């Protein structure tokens, strides 16, 4: 079984107090309203993170009391009645989507896909709640201005801020992108000390102010470990609602199989990524299919499958950084959209998708989603058990024990 475990050294950090925000707003046409909400000053908080070798200990955070919901702002106070308009247009109830790192490159691609209805469909109005930092706040205003100018009919509200306790209020979805990115020559594990504290704080904020059924997708690396840290700091939110983004690796693996087989991407199915989003991940070609046939029956070059294929998928992100000079952004945004749709759309019969979800720890495994809420079902996959390669992972080396894998089933 592929597992990942959080094992950094003890660390302590002090959070800076947030500055009073100056919010930029423009009046929109009555049919395409959007607003920015003024957010208040944050009090200082102290986080102490301590992790024992065999357990994840939730950092002790002196959390703030949940703040009251910001008052309506601008055109929403004067002219806008979403309930009446929703009834007229047969729209669904507004959903709140919180996005951290909203001024970054990934979010710059993602936000416009969300606002266009690409994820939730043409009858689902949304509110975007964008979280940035003091340093990125001016860029965050620019992102909000571009969203205004795009005139998306489904985008009914935009809020921006640097306080997660404000931005995450009543969030139905939380897309946690904001983190220090990986640079040339860096491994994702090297980001742990910096980014672990960010996700501890954000987990506390989600626990305090988000919807009790908020769905959380962690993108910031190392995403498996960060997802585990986040959920450990949000005990009031079901652990099954937390996901580490694995879909980018799944998409990369499908691409490589399609190229080798000489077929288009949509012919590849049942692709599984085991383990971490890292160079230790294991893309599973043994259970994947091409045009409904086992991969080994379509791709006769088994040496390529057993050696080159795995390495190509594992190192794809690093090669892209060398070529592009930065981490992937557009393809990551596409994979977030794919991951969100997979969690709300019934999976095609016989297929599955990969997602990092918590069991004993947080690792990637295959799953599917039906018309009812999914649930965990234990399945022993003996082909993977006790193979050393599957246990030699970035954050944990469990070479002496075997545990039945848990996967998502309906």
Using CB atoms within 10 A of its CB, is residue 385 exposed (0-12), middle (13-18) or buried (19+)?
middle
Beta-strand ranges (E) seen in 52-147 are: 60-61, 95-100, 126-131
Read off the DSSP letter of residue 9.
P
Enter the tokens of residue 178: 């904001």
Q: What is the DSSP code (8-state) at residue 160?
A: E
Largest CA distance in the chain: 67
Q: Does the annotation count 377 as an active-site position?
A: no
Rounded distance between C-alpha atoms, residue 255 and residue 270, angstroms: 13
Report the residue count for the chain: 410
- Inter-residue contact 45 to 164 (CB < 8 Å): no
Contact 224, 215 (CB under 8 A): no
Rounded to whole angstroms, how far apart are CA atoms 187 and 74?
Answer: 45
d(C-alpha 367, C-alpha 274), whole Å: 12
> Dihedral of the CA atoms 283, 287, 291, 296 (nearest 10)?
90
Return the residue matching tokens 């749709």.
341
CB 361 within 8 A of CB 3: yes
Give the residue among 58, 50, 59 at the shortest CA–CA distance from 9: 50
**Catalytically annotated residue among 277, 302, 374, 387:** 277
Per the DSSP assignment, residues forming a β-bridge with 353 are 367
Residues assigned a catalytic role: 277
């Amino acid at each position: 079984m592929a597992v990942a475990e959080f094992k950094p050294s003890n660390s302590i950090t002090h959070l800076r107090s947030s500055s009073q925000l100056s919010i930029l707003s423009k009046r929109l046409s009555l049919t395409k309203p959007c607003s920015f909400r003024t957010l208040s000053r944050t009090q200082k908080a102290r986080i102490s993170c301590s992790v024992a070798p065999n357990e994840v200990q939730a950092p002790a955070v002196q959390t703030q009391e949940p703040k009251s919901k910001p008052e309506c702002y601008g055109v929403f106070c004067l002219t806008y009645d979403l309930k009446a308009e929703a009834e007229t247009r047969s729209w669904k109830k507004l959903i709140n989507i919180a996005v951290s790192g909203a001024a970054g490159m990934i979010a710059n691609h993602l936000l416009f896909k969300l606002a266009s209805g690409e994820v939730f469909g043409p009858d689902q109005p949304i509110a975007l709640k964008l979280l940035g930092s003091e340093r990125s706040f001016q860029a965050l205003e620019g992102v909000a201005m571009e969203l205004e100018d795009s005139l998306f009919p489904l985008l009914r509200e935009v809020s921006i801020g640097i306080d997660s306790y404000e931005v995450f209020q009543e969030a139905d979805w939380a897309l946690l992108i904001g983190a220090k990115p990986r640079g040339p020559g860096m491994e994702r594990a090297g980001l742990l000390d910096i980014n672990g504290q960010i996700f501890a704080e954000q987990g506390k904020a989600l626990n305090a102010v988000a919807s009790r059924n908020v769905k959380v997708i962690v993108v910031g690396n190392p995403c498996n470990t960060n997802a585990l840290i986040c959920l450990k700091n949000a005990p009031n939110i079901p652990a099954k609602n937390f996901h580490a983004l694995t879909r980018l690796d799944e998409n990369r693996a499908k691409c490589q199989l399609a190229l080798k087989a000489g077929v288009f991407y949509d012919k590849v199915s049942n692709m599984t990524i085991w383990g971490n989003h890292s160079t230790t991940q294991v893309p599973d070609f043994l259970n994947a299919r091409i045009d409904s046939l086992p991969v080994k029956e379509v791709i006769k070059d088994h040496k390529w499958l057993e050696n080159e294929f795995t390495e190509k998928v594992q190192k794809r992100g690093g090669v892209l950084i060398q070529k592009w000079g930065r981490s992937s952004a557009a393809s990551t945004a596409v994979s977030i959209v794919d991951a969100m749709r997979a969690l709300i759309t019934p999976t095609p019969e016989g297929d599955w998708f990969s997602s990092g979800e918590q069991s004993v720890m947080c690792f990637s495994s295959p799953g599917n989603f039906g018309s009812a809420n999914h649930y965990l079902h234990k399945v022993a996959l003996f082909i993977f058990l006790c193979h050393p390669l599957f246990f030699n992972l970035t954050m944990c080396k469990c070479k002496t024990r075997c545990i039945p894998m848990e996967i998502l089933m309906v």
